[in-house]
Structure 1
């Protein structure tokens, strides 16, 4: 099977899918899409993913999966080991619950700050083919949301090795990408968030994480 992964190594969203691919031990070709130059908006990439976003994963039959959730669902079905969405019904529910929380309360809160503040995001406050203006007031709200999420994650990781279940999962992937991406928003967890930093340091022992760490 030949897989082609459309990536941007400096962006948080494709990093989630790339970690999952590496955890599954799959071989894949990588094509870098230069988001800074707007390559994702060009006709060549639109033909691959009309949503103008990365990640995208092209399968050997030509099917293109165009978001993290679709890619992860395919990976779990086609390559179930090691599981990233849990094994038992309860664990699967727990993992998905925390994937959702880490994405919406953490990762998207960070994106809210970055995309409504960064000058290079002017007119591009949301990903996708439609241009949206920045809303400066959302920066303040995003900062508050991030702080609230750090409290939630800190409490969750008290006496826990992983965010959900007893094994590394998609919940850990989403949470660690949120923690790392928060550096761009200048809203990293404080030194008092000792559980978060203990967990984040432990994540570096995984080859998939170390290989995709932001510079």
Structure 2
């Protein structure tokens, strides 16, 4: 296996945390998005979409989406289980992981890519250039607040996001919350359940990779 990483980007960090939780060693190559290395012909020969992370499987298949990477590693290394056990748990993990992606990651990306001066002309990842839309940045900031409120409500009823134990969904939500610092957003002080959950996830060794 070969893992293409970027040490500064949130989506590769999700895969990196998953790998660390599994306790497996995978050959890794770091691709600098800041230097535009994802757009080079060499990397686009691996992933024409010019996005990270990428996992090249033992059979040589190229996986470019976090859920696919997680599923492959879960099948290859089932312990500890991070995507649930049985159909009910697996469905819960994928459900909350999708919520974290769509209602957590997307708003942060909208706010950041449509407001940061370094993202001018690069409002979307990938090989094509797109102009910034300031209104999307404003909408993204509002949506981040709604996402944090939803997390607090959920975590008041459950110790972890999807299950009664740590899972892929917690990795995704944690990484997106930490990445929200790029738009100067953090967990509100009154969100006690979320802060407790965040502290427990932050203390895990995988959070330091």
Give CA deviations for 1:11-48 in whole Å, capped at 9, x if unaligned.
00100111111111111122111101111001010011
The 2-side partners of 1:121 and 1:22 are apart by: 30
Where structure 1 has 5 or more consecutive residues not aligned to the other structure, the ranges are: none
2:3 aligns to what?
A: 5
2:169 aligns to what?
A: 171
The answer to whether residue 182 in structure 2 is matched with residue 184 in structure 1 is yes
2:131 aligns to what?
A: 133
Give CA deviations for 1:125-180 in whole Å, capped at 9, x if unaligned.
11111111111100110011000001000011114321111221011011101110
1:18 aligns to what?
A: 16
| 1:91 positional shift | 1.3
Give CA deviations for 1:70-112 in whole Å, capped at 9, x if unaligned.
1012112222221111102211111111001111001111111
Higher mean C-alpha deviation, range 185-194 or range 130-139? 185-194
Give CA deviations for 1:159-202 in whole Å, capped at 9, x if unaligned.
43211112210110111011100111112121111111111111
Aligned-residue Cα RMSD (Å) equals 1.2
2:75 aligns to what?
A: 77
- In the alignment of these two chains, the number of paired residues is 209
The 1-side partners of 2:140 and 2:203 are apart by: 30
Where structure 2 has 5 or more consecutive residues not aligned to the other structure, the ranges are: none
Taking structure 1 as the reference length, the TM-score comes to 0.93
